[in-house]
Copies of this chain bind each other. A is one copy, B any other.
Amino acid sequence: MKKAKPSPSSPPCGHPAAHEARRVTSYDVALAAGVSQSAVSRCFKPGASVSKETYARVMAAAAQLDYIPNAAARSLITRRSNMVAVVISNLTNLYYPEALSELSQQLVRHGKRVLLFNLAREADVGPALSDIWQYQVDGVIASAGLSDEHIAEFERRHVPLVMFNRAAPDQRVNSVLCDQRDASRMLVSRLAAAGHRQFAIIDGPADSSVSAERRRAACERLAELGLPPPVVVPGRYDYSSGADGLRAVIAELGRVPDAVICGNDVMAIGCLDCARHELGIDVPGRLSVAGFDAVEPSNWLSYNLTTLRQPMQKMAAAAADLLVNLIDSHDTAAERRVFSAQFIAGATARLGAPSLLPKAQPLAA
């Protein structure tokens, strides 16, 4: 009542829109439509109670003035920014762009926008988090390793979190993941059944829990089958480390192994190319090569890689669902949705007839 919110349609200072034109607010629309500001606000809220005619007049005025609600102001009061932070480690890794793309699409379907946190290394998650808190995101999908302290901070701040393709260290945290252990065991079983005895593993980077799980499961299964322990060499998830890995394996073993299991497809492709084009090794005749993820190039004719596909679309949809449920109903019950990988036979490994080989049955070589 004191100040009549004058809606200064003329700038306070002299220059006409010289610096930064005043933004159009709901007050301007209200003035133009001859209604109150709250009426305007209601017109932009889905389930509001507005009369047909008021709505029409407001919308007409809004359209004419190019009015668009200010999300910052809205989020201040509603405590909803409609933004979801997606923390992802390495966009050049082929697997992650696919994940990001799917996640983005699924989140948009739920009316959420993606605020991107692209880490150079998975270890850089700390600084990203402090930024995340600032931006008042409604929730976070993290495809990066989070420490217990980090996870605790999510709880303290009541920010819903869904881990994507990352196992939280036995915490009660929501997660969507693919059963890497099962996938890895399946792969080893198939290869062993086909007669491979000496395995090698080109591992992923040390900070990748996914790769660690794949390696562990493979070793475990090999031991169960009574096969010799594999040669394990480190890799960096990139093409050249696949080639480097193969050379290291051969150096360490003194000969070409029967099969190389690579921590991801890109390394498998690097390994494959090195074997064929550099070392002249017949794949799969003399050496079998397998990877993980079924990224697009793994399916190209030059490779036709033996690999394991994660149901990315389903996983992304599950992650988005999980997160928006967490956001809408302040539910705190932790859920983990586990998907299983699909074996892609490809043509870079000698494989027995699958019908004869039950998945997890121990086999004498």
A residues in contact (CB < 8 Å) with B:
19-21, 66, 68-73, 75-76, 79, 81, 83, 86, 91-92, 94, 96-98, 100-101, 104-105, 108, 113-118, 120, 130-131, 133-136, 156-158, 239, 269-270, 273-274, 276-278, 296-297, 300-303, 330
Residues of B contacting A105 in the complex (Cβ-Cβ under 8 angstroms): 118, 120
Contact assessment for B91 and A135 in the assembled complex, using a CB-CB cutoff below 8 Å: no
Q: 29 A-B Cβ contacts within 8 A?
A: A19-B330, A21-B158, A68-B133, A68-B134, A71-B134, A72-B72, A72-B75, A91-B98, A91-B104, A92-B101, A92-B296, A97-B97, A100-B118, A104-B116, A108-B118, A113-B116, A113-B117, A113-B131, A113-B135, A115-B115, A115-B116, A239-B296, A269-B300, A270-B300, A273-B300, A273-B301, A273-B302, A274-B301, A277-B301
Q: Which residue of B lies closest to A117 (CB)?
A: B113
Structural contact, A130 and B68, CB atoms closer than 8 A = yes
Asked if B66 contacts A72 (CB within 8 A), the reply is: no
On whether A134 and B69 interact (CB within 8 A), knowing A273-B300, A301-B277, the answer reads yes
Of the candidates B66, B92, B158, B330, which one forms a contact with A156 in the assembled complex, judged by CB atoms under 8 Å apart? B66
Q: How far is the CA of A270 from the CA of B301 in the complex (A)?
A: 8
A96 to B96, CA, bound (A): 12
Q: Least Cβ distance of A115 to chain B in Å?
A: 6
B91 engages A118 (CB within 8 Å): no
The answer to whether B115 touches A330, judged by C-beta atoms less than 8 angstroms apart, is: no
State how many angstroms separate the Cβ of A160 from the closest Cβ of chain B: 11
Closest chain-B Cβ to A360's Cβ sits at a distance in Å of 34
* Pairwise interchain contact A136-B300, C-beta atoms closer than 8 A: no
Expressed in whole angstroms, the Cα–Cα distance for A108 and B87 within the complex equals 14
CB-based nearest B residue for A136: B72
A157 partner residues in chain B, CB cutoff 8 A? 66
Which residues of B have CB within 8 Å of A277? 301-302
Q: Chain B contacts of A20 at CB under 8 A?
A: 79, 158, 330
Cross-chain contact B83 with A91 (CB below 8 angstroms): no
CA of A115 to CA of B96, assembled, Å:
17
